[in-house]
Amino acid sequence: MTDKATKTENTFLEDTLTQPLKKMPLPQGPGKLLESLPQKPQNRYRFLRSIGFGGMKTVLLVHDSDTDRDVAMALMPDFKERSGFDQERFVKEALLTAKLEHPNIVPVHDIGVDSSGSPYFTMKYLHGQSLEQLLRKLKKGDPESISRYGLEKLLQIFTRICNAIEFAHSRGICHLDLKPSNISLGEYGEVQVIDWGLARPFNTIETHITKQLPDGRRVVSGTPGFMSPEQIHNSVDIPIGKRSDIYSLGCILYAMLTLSYPLEEYDTDETFRRTVTGNIPAPSKVAPEDRHVPSAVEAICLKAMAPRQTDRYRDVRELREDIFAFQTGFVPKAENASALKHAGLFINRNLLIILLLLCLGLTAALVVVLFK
C-alpha cells in the first residue's frame, strides 16, 4: 500500500477531466453555525496525550471529569487560518455524526467551542487498529494476523461496515470517504466507521464535494482509488448519492481480497482517469499468488465498482445480501454462474441430507433383497 491512500484534498486541473468545469462560489464564512455552539466547560477535560492528526483535525486523548472516562477530542488547532468553509465542515461533521446512532458508527459525546474560539467535539476513544493497519500486517505476512483474519473474518467485518452505511443512507446521509483507514477495528470484535468529514445529506452533496480556487483550479475532496467516478466528475448530470458509497465499499472489498489498494501504483491523475473509464484490473489479477480470490466475491466486488451507477448494486442491502449468499453457500446475484455450479453448491449445502437419504435408500434396498 502507498501513501496515496492517505486522505488528501487533491488539486485536479480542468484539462484532466472529461467534463467541463463548473463555476462554484467560494465559501463566505462559518455564519451562525459556530456561534450557536456552547462554550466548553472550564476544567472538564484534562489533556493526556495526542492520538493523531489528519486533514484539518488534531485528535487528542483527554479525560472527561464529568463522566470519569477517557475520550477522544477532535479540534482545529489552526482554526484562525482556516476558511469559513473548513470551519463549517468541521462542525457539520460533528453534528451529523451525532445523529447517526448505530453500533458500527463512532458515537459523538459532546460538541462546543473552547476559550480560544476553536470548535471541538469529543467521541468514544477507540482501542485497537484500523483496517488499513490490519491489511498491511496481512500483506507483510504477520502470523498472528493471518491466523485471526482469514477471508471469512474479513467478510464479517465488511458486512458490519455495510450495516453502518445502510443505516446512514436510511437517514439520508452519504459518507463519501470510505476507505480502510476510516474503519476502526476494536480489540473485542468492534467495527466502527469513522471520519464523517466529507459526509453530506443527499440533497446538498453537489455543492460541497469540491471547491473552486481563485486561480481556476479545482480541489477534489476524497481519496484517489476509493472515490467513485461521479465524485471525480462532480457533474449535475451524474448525481452523487448512495451508489457513490457503494463504489467505495467495493474498493474496500477489493483491498480485502488483494491486500492492495485499487490503482495504487498510479499517480493521482492517472488514477482518476482509470476510475472514470473503469480500467481497473480484477482482484484475481492483483492478489498475491498464494492468496485465493473466490470468483463469486470477485464478481460482487466488480459489480459494486462498476463505472456506471446503474450497473452497481441499487443499495447497500443488495450488496450485503450477495455477500451473505456467498457465505451461506449460495450463488450471488452478481455472479453469472452456470447450472453446474448451482447444482454443486446445492449438493454442498445439503450434503448431510443427501447422504442420509442415500443411506436410507440403500438400507431399504437391502431389506427388500433379504426378504425376497
Name, of 148-152, 340-344, 355-359, the range with top average pLDDT.
Answer: 148-152
Q: Which residues of 33-52 are buried (b: 16+ CB within 10 A; e: fewer)?
A: bbeebeebeeeebeeeeeee
Confidence of residue 238 (pLDDT cuts 50, 70, 90): confident
The counts of H helices and E strands in the chain are: 12, 13
Quickly tell me which residue has 464478481 as its cell: 299
pLDDT at 43 over 80: yes
What local confidence, expressed as pLDDT, does residue 36 receive? 80
What does the mean pLDDT of the chain come to? 83
Render pLDDT for 258-311 as a digit per residue (tens, 0 to 9).
999 999 999 999 999 999 999 999 999 999 999 999 999 999 999 999 999 999
pLDDT at 323 over 90: yes
Quickly tell me which residue has 456506471 as its cell: 308
- CA distance linking residue 171 with residue 164, whole number of Å: 11
**315 belongs to the catalytic site:** no
- CA 202 distance to own-chain centroid: 17
pLDDT at 216 over 60: no
Maximum distance among all alpha carbons in the chain? 99
What local confidence, expressed as pLDDT, does residue 82 receive? 84
Looking at domain 129-339, its CATH architecture is Orthogonal Bundle (1.10)
Confidence of residue 120 (pLDDT cuts 50, 70, 90): very high
* Weakest mean pLDDT among 59-63, 115-119, 247-251, 357-361: 357-361
Confidence of residue 219 (pLDDT cuts 50, 70, 90): low
Q: Which three cell numbers stand for residue 245?
A: 458509497
Query: What homologous superfamily is domain 10-124 in, according to CATH?
Result: Phosphorylase Kinase; domain 1 (3.30.200.20)
Task: With H, G, I as helix, E, B as strand and everything else as coil, classify residue 141.
Answer: coil
What local confidence, expressed as pLDDT, does residue 204 receive? 60
Name, of 84-88, 187-191, 343-347, the range with top average pLDDT.
Answer: 187-191
* DSSP 8-state symbol, 39: B
- CA 362 distance to own-chain centroid: 53
Q: What is the mean pLDDT of residues 62-88?
A: 89
The residues facing 212 across adjacent strands are 218
What local confidence, expressed as pLDDT, does residue 355 receive? 76
Render pLDDT for 171-203 as a digit per residue (tens, 0 to 9).
999 999 999 999 999 988 999 999 998 898 876
Q: Please, are residues 105 and 169 in contact by the beta-carbon 8 Å criterion? A: no
What is the pairing mode between strands 210-212 and 218-222?
antiparallel
Task: With H, G, I as helix, E, B as strand and everything else as coil, classify residue 335.
Answer: coil
Q: Which of 86, 177, 195, 322 is catalytic?
A: 177
Q: What is the mean pLDDT of residues 328-343?
A: 73
pLDDT at 20 over 60: no
Q: What is the mean pLDDT of residues 8-24?
A: 35
